[in-house]
Structure 1
Amino acid sequence: MIATDTAETNVAVLAADVVTVLGAHRHRGVNEKQIQDSVQRVLAAAGLVFSREHALSAQDRPDFLVDGGVVVEVKMKASRSMVLMQLGRYAAHDQVAALVLASPRLTVVAGMPDSIHGKPVRVVQLPGVGLA
């Protein structure tokens, strides 16, 4: 993505920072809830301001919304089509500026588009998942 203004640049940098922070930590857990707890600890330790299970609408509640409009969605097991549908719903909201998909499974993060509804998409394969 080529940033055309300061807001786009800030969002791109924030999304990249989230990916870097999450990818640098070894996450421990055997289910999605435990990994979400780990992600929460890592985001907080990095000093990022965020809310968990933020209500974008009655139907749409991403795992995390980082201040600045970056959605972080954690997936342990999910089909690519279901993930794309879910991210597409999130991207349709005005308060969402970028999306980060975090998963231990390469099959979940591989082949994700660079953007959905004009919102940049970044992926991070979480290291250490599955080790309790």
Structure 2
Amino acid sequence: MTSPAQLTFAADPAPVAVDQVLAALRRIRIHPAAAEADLYAAISAQLLAAGIPFEREVRLGPRNRIDYLIPGGVGIEVKKGKPNSRTLAEQADRYCRFDQIQALILVVERSVFTHPDRLHGKPVHYLSLNRLWGIAL
């Protein structure tokens, strides 16, 4: 799925460092009651503002579609609300098994669990939006 504002990968895009992606995501400020579509729009806008190319809804394998994929293999999975911690942990584990993923960022609205720093040798970063808002839900 491609949106008009999406920056798509060139033939050989330059890898983007995970720290650069995290810095862009940490600038997100969205109302806690915003719709899921608003959250995706805010993430896309921050990535675009930072000049970070991305693809949306990238199929990694059967029944495995990650929300964002950044050149260099940074994957972003977004969860609105308070996702089931077991389901999210299983999804993160599956995604980190794919060669396309070199680092994973889990963006969740509300904190749900303590995650490992690495899965299958790949770094996993956890970004809780309620912490960015300065509130604990």
Q: TM-score range by the shorter chain?
A: 0.7 to 0.9
Q: Which runs of 5+ in 2 are unaligned?
A: 1-14
Q: Which runs of 5+ in 1 are unaligned?
A: 1-10
Give the corresponding residue for 1:27. Answer: 30
Give the corresponding residue for 1:47. Answer: 51
The reply to whether residue 59 of structure 1 matches residue 68 of structure 2 is no
Give the corresponding residue for 1:68. Answer: 72
Bigger RCO (CA 8 Å, 6+ sep)? 1
Choose between structure 1 and 2: higher helix proportion: 1
Q: Give the TM-score taking structure 1 as reference length.
A: 0.78
- CA drift of 1:58 comes to 2.7
* 8 Å CA contact 2:58, 2:66 repeated in 1: yes
The 1-side partners of 2:108 and 2:19 are apart by 16
Give the corresponding residue for 1:121. Answer: 124
Q: Percent identity?
A: 36
Q: How many residues align?
A: 116
Choose between structure 1 and 2: higher strand proportion: 2
Give the corresponding residue for 1:81. Answer: 86
RMSD value over aligned CA atoms?
2.0
